[in-house]
C-alpha cells in the first residue's frame, strides 16, 4: 500500500513535536556569560569595543568618545543538523528511532550556543580579541603600559582552565551573535525530486550565528590550580583594571566558570559556608557555572 499524505503529516507532526520536547528540556547556560546580540548582515563590526564608555563632567563642548578602529568583526556561520528517514521505514511503521533522533536534534540546537561560546572562551588563550592580543594575554595595552588578565604561568600551567568573569554589565565578556534562529524543516513532498530519486525523507534544522569576545577587561583566565589564593588573585586583577586615564573601571568577579575537573573544588570554594569550622570568606561571592564544554 502506498504511503498516504496523512501518514506523512502524522510523521512530520510527531518528529516536530519530538524536536520541540528535546529543545524545551535542555538547559542552556550561554546567557550567564554572553550577551545575545542580533545580527542583520553577514558579519558585524565590534570596533566600539576599543572605547570603554564612561561618565565625565560636561565642561564646554560635549566630550564625544572616539571609537577606536580596531576592526574586530564576528562573521556569521551556517550550522545544520539533519535526519534521513528511509521510505521503507515509514511504510513499515518503524519510526520510533527517528523520534529519538529528532528529540536529540532539538536538544543539540538548544545547547549549541553553549558549545561554541564556552569552547571559544577556552580558546581565548590563543584567539585574538578587539585589541589584537589574545583574549587572555599577559600584555594587553592599558593606559601607559600593559597588563595581564591571566593568573598563573600560562607557559607552563597545564590544568583544566577556569575563569572569573564580571557578567554584571549589559555587555558581558562573551557575545553570541544570532543572524537566523534554528528552525525545524521537513523535506517530505512525495513528488519532490529528492524523495523520488532517493526513496527517503529529510528532516533538518539550520541556523546562522557565531560567538565572539567582548571586553577582555571583564575576564580573568587561568590554567593554574583552582585555589583560594589564585581565585583571590583573579579578583584583585579584575578590580585593578583602569581606563586610559588611570581611573578604575569598577569591575568585580561575579561568575566563576569551571569544567568537570574543577567542579568539586569550585563547589568547595564558593558554595561551602564553613571549611574546617572556619567561615569561608568566598561563600556565595560568585555564581558557579559548570560547563561540559570547558576543556
Crossing angle (nearest 10°) for helices 5-25 and 96-122: 40
Q: What is the pLDDT of residue 19?
A: 97
* Rounded Cα gap, residues 179 and 267, in angstroms: 36
Q: Report how far residue 11's alpha carbon sits from residue 284's, in angstroms, rounded to the nearest whole number.
A: 48
Distances (CA, A) of 271 to 168, 263, 278: 20, 11, 14
Helix (H, G, I), strand (E, B) or coil at 267: helix
Residue 95 pLDDT more than 80? no
| pLDDT reading at 69 higher than 60 | no
* pLDDT given for residue 276 in this prediction: 86
* Residue 284 pLDDT level (bands cut at 50, 70, 90): very high
Q: What local confidence, expressed as pLDDT, does residue 90 receive? A: 73
E strand or H helix at 177 = strand 174-187
Mean pLDDT of the chain: 89
Check whether 27 has a pLDDT greater than 90: yes
Distances (CA, A) of 215 to 35, 56, 97, 135, 265: 12, 20, 45, 9, 27
Cα–Cα distance, 66 to 53 (Å, whole number): 10
More confident residue, 52 or 104: 104
Three cell numbers written together for 59: 565642561
The radius of gyration of the chain from alpha carbons, rounded to an integer in Å, stands at 24
Residue 33 has pLDDT above 50, yes or no: yes
* Sole residue written with cell 603600559: 145
The pLDDT, as a whole number, for residue 55 is 63
- Residue 92: count other Cβ atoms within 10 Å of its Cβ: 9
Mean pLDDT of 76-104: 86
The CA–CA distances, whole Å, from 138 to 58, 213, 237 equal 35, 17, 12
Q: Which three cell numbers stand for residue 168?
A: 554584571
CA 250, CA 231: separation in Å to the nearest integer? 18
pLDDT tens digits, residue range 185-221? 988 766 676 665 677 889 999 999 999 999 999 999 9
Find cell 523520488 and name the residue.
Answer: 196
CB 241 within 8 A of CB 173: no
- Residue 201 burial (CB < 10 Å; 0-12/13-18/19+)? buried
Whole-number pLDDT of residue 24: 98
For residues 152-180, one letter each, b for 16 or more C-beta atoms within 10 angstroms of the residue's C-beta and e for the rest, the string is bebeeeeebbbbbbbbeeebbbbbbbbbe
Is residue 145 very low, low, confident or very high in pLDDT (cuts 50, 70, 90)?
confident
Q: What confidence tens digit (pLDDT) does each residue in 231-278 have?
A: 999 999 999 999 877 889 999 999 999 999 999 999 999 999 998 889
| Range 31-48 average pLDDT | 93
Q: Return the percentage of the chain with pLDDT > 90, whole number.
A: 71
pLDDT band at 157 (very low <50, low <70, confident <90, very high): very high
Q: In the predicted model, is pLDDT for residue 63 greater than 50?
A: no
Give the pLDDT score at 57: 58
Of 121, 223, 115, the C-alpha closest to 167 is: 121
pLDDT of residue 67: 35
pLDDT of residue 9: 85
Amino acid at each position: 500500500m502506498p504511503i498516504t499524505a496523512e501518514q506523512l503529516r502524522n510523521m512530520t507532526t510527531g518528529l516536530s513535536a519530538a524536536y520541540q520536547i528535546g529543545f524545551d528540556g535542555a538547559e542552556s547556560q550561554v546567557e550567564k556569560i554572553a550577551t545575545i546580540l542580533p545580527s542583520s548582515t553577514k558579519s558585524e563590526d565590534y570596533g566600539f569595543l576599543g572605547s570603554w564608555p564612561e561618565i565625565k563632567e560636561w565642561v564646554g563642548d560635549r566630550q564625544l568618545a572616539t571609537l577606536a578602529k580596531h576592526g574586530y568583526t564576528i562573521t556569521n556561520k551556517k550550522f545544520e543538523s539533519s535526519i534521513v528517514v528511509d521510505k521503507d521505514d515509514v511504510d513499515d511503521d518503524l519510526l520510533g528511532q527517528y523520534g529519538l533522533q529528532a528529540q536529540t536534534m532539538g536538544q543539540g540546537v538548544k545547547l549549541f550556543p553553549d558549545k561554541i561560546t564556552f569552547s571559544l572562551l577556552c580558546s581565548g588563550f590563543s584567539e585574538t580579541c578587539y585589541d589584537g592580543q589574545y583574549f587572555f594575554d599577559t600584555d594587553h595595552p592599558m593606559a601607559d603600559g600593559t597588563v595581564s588578565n591571566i593568573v598563573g604561568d600560562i607557559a607552563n600551567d597545564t590544568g583544566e582552565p577556569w575563569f572569573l568573569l564580571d557578567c554584571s554589565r549589559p555587555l558581558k565578556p562573551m557575545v553570541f551573535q544570532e543572524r537566523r534562529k534554528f528552525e525545524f524543516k521537513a523535506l517530505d513532498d512525495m513528488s519532490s525530486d529528492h524523495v523520488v530519486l532517493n526513496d527517503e525523507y529529510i528532516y533538518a534544522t539550520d541556523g546562522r550565528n557565531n560567538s565572539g569576545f567582548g571586553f577582555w577587561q571583564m575576564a580573568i583566565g587561568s590554567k593554574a590550580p583552582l585555589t583560594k589564593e589564585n581565585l583571590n588573585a583573579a579578583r584583585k586583577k579584575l578590580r585593578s583594571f583602569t581606563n586610559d586615564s588611570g581611573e578604575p573601571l569598577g569591575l568585580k568577579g561575579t561568575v566563576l566558570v569551571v569544567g568537570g575537573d574543577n567542579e568539586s573544588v569550585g563547589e568547595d570554594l564558593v558554595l561551602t559556608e564553613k571549611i574546617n569550622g572556619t567561615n569561608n570568606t568566598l561563600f556565595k561571592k560568585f555564581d558557579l557555572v559548570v560547563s561540559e564544554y570547558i576543556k
